[in-house]
Chains A and B, each alone.
Chain A
Amino acid sequence: MIDLEIILTAVFIAWACALVGSFLVTREMAMVGDAIAHAVLPGIVLAYLISGGRDSLWMLTGACLAGVFVTLCIEWVQKKARVQSDAAIGISYTFLFAIGVILVSKYGQTVDLDQDCVLYGEIAYVPLDRWMLGGLDMGPRQTWIGLGLFTGLSVLIFRGFRALTLTSFDPSYAATLGISVAVWHYALMGAVSLTTVVSFESVGAILVVALVVIPPATAYLFAKTIKNMILLALGFSTTMVVSGYYVSAWLDVSISGSMATTGLVQFLLVMGLKPLLIQSEKIPSHGLKSKG
């Protein structure tokens, strides 16, 4: 039962990550996801200090603001200060991360946030935090939060699918159709921040990056349309999470670390086996198309 609760939580979170990750990977913004995952740290600590406790709403707001802030920083450095994109990402998120570490060490005693929890997450403790509804045990709170996040993101992506794909693949065409590229860009960045923050508590900063990037990247090896890619990514994230969980139970090691590792192994396996799997395909694979 405990196994199931942990796995279910991880699967919901992994699905949510795969949804936003698919768009990040196709937009060549994987490292922006990494930047956001690191940069939410100061947002969380500040929210903690202001609200004086682990109030989820404050944490969410603080972290989302920090996440959007780092994307704004990156854009400013890139567009206004004209620094190449990799360096722009590098200087922006390390700056925010440094502030986060300073805040954690300064208020380490008063803030119930240690560095381990930030990095590894506490998914093993998910079953301990129950959601009680009128005396009825509904299951772990994090599981419901994960499900809620996944549902919310599905609705966003379903409703905005056309706009999101068009702004990803052909921004100028999208603009001529009257779709605001900037609005969807920030909607996506906001969604990435939200996903990161919600996942943060249970899986930690590094696994969030693994969940956001690796399954969509694995799917990208095969997929010809963005729809296909999202569906495949959901599948790969499920196998990554479930196998990761059992490996960690078997070796008695960190759950989130093990999931990231199985993700990497799965990616390399799929990449290596792909020529064997798709032999009939004569034409070398090419990039994604915006429409199926």
Chain B
Amino acid sequence: MSFFEALFQNPSVQWVVLGTVGLAVLGSSVGTFNFLQKRSLIGDAVSHALLPGICLAFILKGNKDPLALLVGAFISGWIALLVIDLIQSKSKTKSDTAIAIVLSGFFGLGIVFLTLIQSSENANQAGLDAFLFGNAASIQKADLLNIAMFGSFILLSLFLGFRAFKALCFDKDFIAAGGFRVKLIQFWLSSITVLTICLGVQALGVVLMAALLITPAVAARAWTNKLGNLIFLSSGIGIISGFVGAWISYESPSMPTGPWVVLTASAIVLVSLVFSPKRGVVPRYFRQKANQKKIQSENILKALFHLEENSETASTGYSLKDLLSMRAFQRDQLVGALKALVRKNLLLEEDGTYSLSSLGRQKAGKVVRNHRLWELYLTQYVGMEADHVHEDAEAMEHLITPELEKELSKVLNHPEYDPHQRQIPGKHD
């Protein structure tokens, strides 16, 4: 039976798929808020710290009642959170150290309990240690019911408390000013985070549940700046990862679901970080290259403009050597850039000498105008000395937009000369 046939016919496959996808949605939406609070690794610590609670609940109850384990896990996770906060507030221990201490210490305690259970040879214990690596195939109807019940509670409180949580991530003072209690909202967010991890840990395992809180949020962040979109996108990535994970583990039964969910999410995060138009590494690289090219050609035009300005007699053109005397261009880069400028009709070439075309002169004049306006602005409004302003203007000349240029000109009362008594070109604008 193919996966999609099974999806419509076999209830146990439906449970696994629904459970995994549901957990992925919960993890990625709740995780987004933790990510924005820079508390991602706390989720990691909490998921490790559930183990002692789960084992203790099992010892007390004597069987694997999902609800009892959930309660045990929840309490244990909360204690871990409190201990992390306690360590940070009572000592100079840094947050990452506090997290690592609680993570390893609580997990060690969990293992102690686990071996206690194992040595008592309770027949029911089989499967408790699936908790560590997760076993999505074990999702039963009862688990699914828990996920659906608590999950809708979590999503509902995210929906209703959206504004409060948003303020918690971005502007705590705003909450305080609005008469809300920062601590209460933080408590609420922490509680639903712990609850989410508790729900997911048995199916996906400790480490992989932690991943589900972090990875989709990071991937989504590469594409959007809006919180609402971020949560939807992150949940979407969660859904895709959960679905693909369940699919792969159905096709190849020896494959565990959790790691494939994480691997899918990791692949999405990699693509996002590399290729997203706004924040991706590759688009940013090309933007930087294009920008460098723009700056370089503007510098060449400017150098020619200065050469023309300085020469007494009208010259027909300037050689490479003249240009190199104006500015420390790299020779071979310069040659390439000059050719490109000639192609764009900004420069005229004649026997290895170059001069500005009228279009080029206009463009160079704009750059020089920006430079000199900015120098004047710095001396008049920022109070800098005339001999200190050149460096700054050298960078700003490439950044000043036409609107800004108009504004500067207006503020400076349409000046004619810069602080060095050189004429500012293009006054007629």
Q: Which residues of A contact B (CB under 8 A)?
A: 25, 28-31, 33-34, 38, 77, 80-84, 86-87, 89-91, 94-95, 97-99, 101-102, 105-106, 108, 115-116, 119-120, 206-207, 209-210, 213-214, 217, 220-221, 248, 251-254, 256-261, 263-265, 267-268, 271-272, 274, 285-287
B215 x A257 contact (CB < 8 A): no
Residue of A nearest to B260 (CB): A102
> 8 smallest A-B Cβ distances: which pairs?
A260-B108, A264-B105, A257-B111, A94-B211, A210-B104, A90-B214, A98-B259, A81-B273
Residues 291-345 of B contacting A (Cβ, < 8 Å): none
Residue of B nearest to A25 (CB): B97
Given the complex, which residues of A lie within 8 Å of B106, measured CB to CB?
Answer: 264
Summed over the interface, the residue pairs from A and B with CB atoms below 8 Å come to a total of 211
Is B397 an interface position by the 8 A CB rule? no
Q: Select which of B103, B109, B255 is within 8 A of A209 by beta carbon.
A: B103
Q: CB within 8 Å of A: which of B32-58?
A: 35, 38-41, 43-44, 48
For this complex, 11 residue pairs linking A to B, each with C-beta atoms less than 8 Å apart, are A30-B101, A90-B44, A90-B210, A91-B215, A98-B262, A102-B256, A206-B108, A210-B104, A213-B101, A263-B108, A264-B108
Measured CA separation A263–B113 after assembly (Å): 16
Beyond A82-B279, A102-B263, whether A257 also contacts B100 by CB under 8 A is no
Question: Does B192 sit at the interface, judged by CB under 8 A?
Answer: no
Minimum CB–CB distance for B339 against chain A, Å: 32
- Describe A's contact surface by its main secondary structure: helix
Which residues in window 104-119 of B have CB below 8 A to A? Answer: 104-116, 119
B139 within 8 A of A: no
- Contact between B214 and A94 (Cβ–Cβ < 8 Å)? yes
* Whole-angstrom CA separation of A95 from B259 in the bound complex: 8
Taking CB atoms, residues of chain B closer than 8 Å to A259 are 108
Complexed CA–CA distance, A256 and B87 (Å): 23
Extra pairs beyond A119-B132, A265-B105 (14, CB < 8 Å):
A34-B103, A86-B38, A86-B41, A90-B218, A91-B214, A97-B211, A98-B260, A101-B256, A102-B255, A115-B133, A221-B92, A259-B108, A260-B109, A263-B105
Which residue from B107, B215, B217 sits with its C-beta under 8 Å from A206?
B107
Q: Does B93 contact A (CB under 8 A)?
A: yes
Q: A285 vs B83: C-alpha distance in the bound complex, in angstroms? A: 21
Rounded to whole angstroms, the CA-CA distance of A164 and B236 in the bound complex is: 45
Which of chain B's residues 259-275 have a Cβ closer than 8 Å to chain A?
259-260, 262-263, 266, 269, 273-274
Give the distance in Å from the alpha carbon of A77 to the alpha carbon of B132 in the complex: 27
Measured CB to CB, the closest approach of chain B to A213, in angstroms, equals: 4
The residue that A257 contacts in the complex, of B38, B109, B256, with Cβ under 8 A, is B109
Q: Does B22 make an interface contact (CB < 8 A)?
A: no
Residue contact B112 to A115, C-beta cutoff 8 Å = no
Give chain B nearest CB distance to A236 CB in angstroms.
Answer: 12
Residue of A nearest to B264 (CB): A98
Question: Size band of the B side of the interface?
Answer: 35 or more
Verify A87–B112 contact, CB threshold 8 A: no
Structural contact, B256 and A89, CB atoms closer than 8 A: no
With the chains together, A267 CA to B90 CA distance in Å? 12
- With a CB–CB cut-off of 8 A, which chain A residues contact B421? none
Residues of A within 8 A of B263 (CB): 95, 98-99, 102
Contact B111 A206 (CB under 8 A): yes
Which residue of chain A is the closest to B263 with respect to CB atoms? Answer: A98
Q: Quick check: A261 and B109 within 8 Å, CB to CB?
A: yes
CB of B246 within 8 Å of the partner chain: no
Smallest beta-carbon distance B53→chain A, Å: 14
Q: Assuming A86-B39, A86-B41, is B266 touching A98 (CB within 8 A)?
A: yes
Nearest Cβ distance between residue A86 and chain B, in whole angstroms? 5
B115 — which chain A residues lie within 8 A by C-beta?
252-254, 257
Distance to closest chain A CB from B280 (angstroms): 8
Write the nearest CB–CB distance from B7 to chain A, whole angstroms: 23
B218 touches A87 (CB 8 A): yes
The answer to the question of B99 belonging to the interface, with a C-beta cut-off of 8 Å to chain A, is yes
B346 within 8 A of A: no
Are B262 and A256 touching (Cβ within 8 A)? Answer: no
Contacts of A84 in B (CB 8 A): 35, 38, 40
Which of B39, B99, B110, B213 has a CB less than 8 Å from the CB of A30? B99
On whether A253 and B105 interact (CB within 8 A), knowing A28-B97, A91-B211, A221-B93, the answer reads no
Q: Return chain A residues, CB-CB under 8 Å to B116.
A: 251, 253
Known contacts A30-B97, A220-B97; is A260 also within 8 Å of B211 by CB? Answer: no
Does chain A have a CB within 8 A of B102? yes
Residue of A33, A116, A253 with highest tally of chain B CB at under 10 A: A253
Give the distance in Å from the alpha carbon of A236 to the alpha carbon of B92 in the complex.
18
Interchain CB contact (< 8 A) of B41 among A31, A207, A214, A271: A31
* Residues 183-223 of B contacting A (Cβ, < 8 Å): 205, 207-208, 210-211, 213-215, 217-218, 221-222
Q: Is the CB of B41 within 8 A of A260?
A: no
B266:A95 contact, CB within 8 angstroms: yes
Is B167's CB within 8 Å of the partner chain A? no
Complex interface: chain B residues within 8 A of A254 (CB): 111-112, 114-115
Which of A80, A89, A97, A220 lies at the interface centre, i.e. has the most chain B CB atoms within 10 A of its CB?
A: A97
Is A94's CB under 8 angstroms from B108's CB? Answer: no
Output the nearest chain B residue to A82 by Cβ-Cβ distance.
Answer: B279
CA distance A101 to B213 in the complex (A): 19
A261 B208 Cβ-Cβ under 8 A: no
How many angstroms from the CA of A7 to the CA of B255 in the assembled complex? 38
Query: A116 to B105, alpha carbons, bound, how many Å?
Result: 18
In angstroms, Cα B317 to Cα A85, docked, is 54
Residue contact B215 to A90, C-beta cutoff 8 Å: yes
